[in-house]
Amino acid sequence: MSTEWTGAAPAAPVHRVAILIVGSGGNAIAAAVLLARAGHADITIMTKHADFGGAWLQNTYPGCEVDSPSVVYQFEFDPNRRWSSLFARQPELLDYLRDVARRNDLYKRTMFEAELLDARWSVDEHCWIVESTRGTVTAGVLILATGFLEEPVIPEISGMDSFGGRIFHSSMWPVGYTGAGDRVAVVGSGSSAIQIVPALAPRAAEVIQFQRTPTWVFPKQNRQLPAEEIDMLERSPAERETREVAVQEEEERNWSAIFLGLDDAAAKEYERLSREFLHEQIAEPEIRTLLTPDHPVGCKRPLVSDDYYGSLNAPNVCLVPSAVSSMGPEFVMTSDGDRFDVDAVVLATGFHFGGHILDRVRRRDGQTVAARQQGRPRAYKAISVSGCPNLFLVGGAAPNGQIWNGLFPGQAAAPYIIGALAHMRDHGLIALEVSEEAEEAWKAGADTLLDEGPTVIGGCLNYSQDETGHNKAAWPGSLESMRAAYAMFDPTDYIAIT
């Protein structure tokens, strides 16, 4: 993503709207639907993509599926009562998100293939002026809901341009490619890689996975739901609620123990369970050693899979505990000097976390938010940024906006934004801007809690740490604490602009 606006947007008529939402994934959909249902009719959505779906539009690799149970990974305001499995696969999730967008008339509100290039607050006009690849939009309110893991990390590998076979990031999967008959290198060992390796193994001639660092893996316990069970769940609100409550309670415990580090005994038990699962699945002691992390659970994102470990036992699958350091026309080479001849390379190398969009957002004083914050991203309650009137961050765009259910932040934040808009209407205000003192105080409180968690003190590299060593990703509390924080807008920490 380029971070420098050159002022060269295509000439086009200026489009004026009351509310502009940037993004087309689940959290953007949730914000748009709930604001519209609250009576805000003048909403436009802007997205660089060609359709709705976010991560589930972008990631189409074989084996792609959600890591949260489908019974909670959905909209509370528009649930799907007929999921086909406990953890839905990408095509079903994409269909669900598109269907919600379609039934709520979001398509007619949306500028597709319009990438935000620059957004700046006009002090004179009291609005956001947003330049995009499809022209200029001015908006009284700007909502950024651009996703947690959207911008791919493309590693710089010596000789990459000389490779003669297929090479692509996992989020840019070639249509129809199955790896059949190919020798495929999978670079990476995160959540995408552990889905891709077992999916390719039955078809590829060889799958070679290059792992720099192992992480903790837990059984997913996914299964297809028989037709009778699907029908029963559709007919029984009580059974659905029972399952939802049980899953949410378990996920809240996991978040608290693993990501926030608030329960050392529980975290140690999770590590024991993961080691036990590894021993059950991998018979070879040397391979088990290569797959055993040396960091505490939660330092990196823990993984869930029923078939990843098992796939490593296949004769055509090879685990290489080294990074790829160079490439040639027909091979990849590790930092240890080992050469592997391959036909295709999958870069399952992950994503930059969320807030890169703030490189393109300018405060009242003309500075970009990123430049002002100097490597320490922050936002009051993970939603409002000082110097940026009428700007609201939702989900991935928001520092500390991540919670265990990736579809929840948009649903949680919408009531807060609706409350802020009502406050401005009732008090005749042009805009609201959070104070810098409130922003700093909230971030300091978040750091106090998160600095004791494994992401910060665990001793590993991860996408959650900012340049100053603090956790820029996680919400400092439970999902229910996020719901409570956004339930009612409180103007106390905001500056009123008349």
80 shares its domain with 167: no
Rounded distance between C-alpha atoms, residue 496 and residue 498, angstroms: 6
139 shares its domain with 170: no
293 shares its domain with 169: yes
In the structure encoding, which two tokens stand for residue 45, read together?
Answer: 């959505």
Rounded distance between C-alpha atoms, residue 258 and residue 302, angstroms: 8
Burial (CB < 10 A; 0-12, 13-18, 19+), residue 210, is buried
Rounded distance between C-alpha atoms, residue 190 and residue 496, angstroms: 45
Domain CATH number, residue 205: 3.50.50.60
* C-alpha angle 157-315-278 in degrees, rounded to nearest 5: 80
Domain boundary among 349, 373, 405: 349
By residue range, what is the domain housing residue 45? 15-152+352-497
pLDDT by residue, tens only, the chain of 498 residues = 333 334 444 445 578 999 999 999 999 999 999 999 999 999 999 999 999 999 999 999 999 999 999 999 999 999 999 999 999 999 999 999 999 999 999 999 999 999 999 999 999 999 999 999 999 999 999 999 998 888 899 999 999 999 999 999 999 999 999 999 999 999 999 999 999 999 999 999 999 999 999 999 999 999 999 999 999 999 999 999 999 999 999 999 999 999 999 999 999 999 999 999 999 999 999 999 999 999 999 999 999 999 999 999 999 999 999 999 999 999 999 999 999 999 999 999 999 887 789 999 999 999 999 999 999 999 999 999 999 999 999 988 999 999 999 999 999 999 999 999 999 999 999 999 999 999 999 999 999 999 999 999 999 989 999 999 999 999 999 999 999 999 999 999 999 999
**How crowded is residue 109: how many other Cβ atoms within 10 Å of its Cβ?**
19
Domain boundary among 288, 320, 349: 349
- Is there a domain that residue 477 lies in? yes
54 shares its domain with 198: no
Domain boundary among 349, 366, 397: 349
274 shares its domain with 302: yes
270 shares its domain with 182: yes
Residues in the chain: 498
430 shares its domain with 333: no
338 shares its domain with 391: no
Rounded distance between C-alpha atoms, residue 422 and residue 93, angstroms: 33
- Is there a domain that residue 464 lies in? yes
284 shares its domain with 404: no
62 shares its domain with 35: yes
311 shares its domain with 440: no
128 shares its domain with 168: no
Q: What total of structural domains would you count in the chain? A: 2
